[in-house]
Amino acid sequence: MVAPPTGCRIRTRLHLTPADAVVLRAVGEHLGALAGADLAARVRIGNVPAAHNRRAERKKALTARSSSRWAGSITRTSEDQYQLSRRALDARIGSLRRAIATITSRLAVTPGGREQRGRRWVRGYADDTERRAKQQRLQILQGRLRRAVREREGGRVRVTRGGRRLLNARHHLYDTATAEKPLTAADWQAQLEGWGTVWSARRMFLTADGEAGAPFGNYTLSIDPADGSIAMVLPDPLRRQYANAPRGRYVLDAAAVFSHRGGPWADRIAAGASVRYDITYDPARGRWYLDASWSTTAKGQTAPALETLRQHPVLAVDVNADHLAAWVLDPHGNPVGTPHTIPLQLSGLPAPTRDARLRAAISRLLHLAQQHECAALVIENLDFTDTRASGRERLGRGRRGKAFRRTVAGIPTGRFRDRLAGMAHHAGLSVIAVDPAYSSRWGAQHWLNPLTEQASTASTTAVTVHHAAAVVVGRRGLGCTAWRRKDGPRQTAATTAPRRAEAAAVRPEDRTGTTAPTPPSHHSTGRTGRTAPARTSRSTPAVRQTRARPPGKHPTPGPTTVRGPSIHDQLTLFAMPDVANTGQST
Closest Cα partner for 320 from 440, 418, 432?
Answer: 440
The average pLDDT across 408-417 equals: 70
Asked whether the beta carbons of 477 and 375 are under 8 A apart, the reply is no
Task: Select the more confidently predicted residue: 461 or 36.
Answer: 36
pLDDT of 141 over the 90 cut: yes
Give pLDDT, residue 149: 95
- The model's pTM is 0.70
Output 352 or 103, whichever has higher pLDDT.
103
Q: What is the DSSP letter of 237?
A: G
Instruction: Name the β-bridge partners of 394.
Output: none
**pLDDT tens digits, 518-532:** 555 444 444 444 444
In whole angstroms, what is the distance from residue 102 CA to residue 106 CA?
A: 6
Q: What is the per-residue pLDDT across 357-400, written as a single tens digit (0 to 9) for each?
A: 888 999 999 999 999 999 999 998 876 555 555 555 665 666 76
pLDDT score for 174: 84
What is the pLDDT, as a whole number, of residue 134? 93
pLDDT band at 559 (very low <50, low <70, confident <90, very high): very low
- Number of residues assigned to the chain: 586
User: What secondary structure does DSSP assign to 14-49, as a single string?
Assistant: E---HHHHHHHHHHHHHHHHHHHHHHHHHHHH-S--
Mean of pLDDT over the chain: 81
578 pLDDT more than 50: no
pLDDT of residue 192: 84
- pLDDT in the model for residue 546: 42
User: How high is the pLDDT of residue 4?
Assistant: 81
Q: Are 536 and 509 in contact (CB under 8 A)?
A: no
All residues at 6 or more sequence positions from 561 whose CB lies less than 8 Å from its CB, including other chains: 512, 513
Predicted pLDDT at 455: 72
Task: Supply the pLDDT for residue 397.
Answer: 62
Tens digit of each residue's pLDDT (9 = 90 or more) over 310-333: 999 999 999 887 889 999 999 999
Instruction: For residue range 144-194, list pLDDT tens digits in order.
Output: 999 999 999 988 898 888 888 888 888 888 888 877 888 888 888 888 888
- Is it the case that residue 37 has pLDDT exceeding 80? yes
Say which DSSP state 176 is in.
T
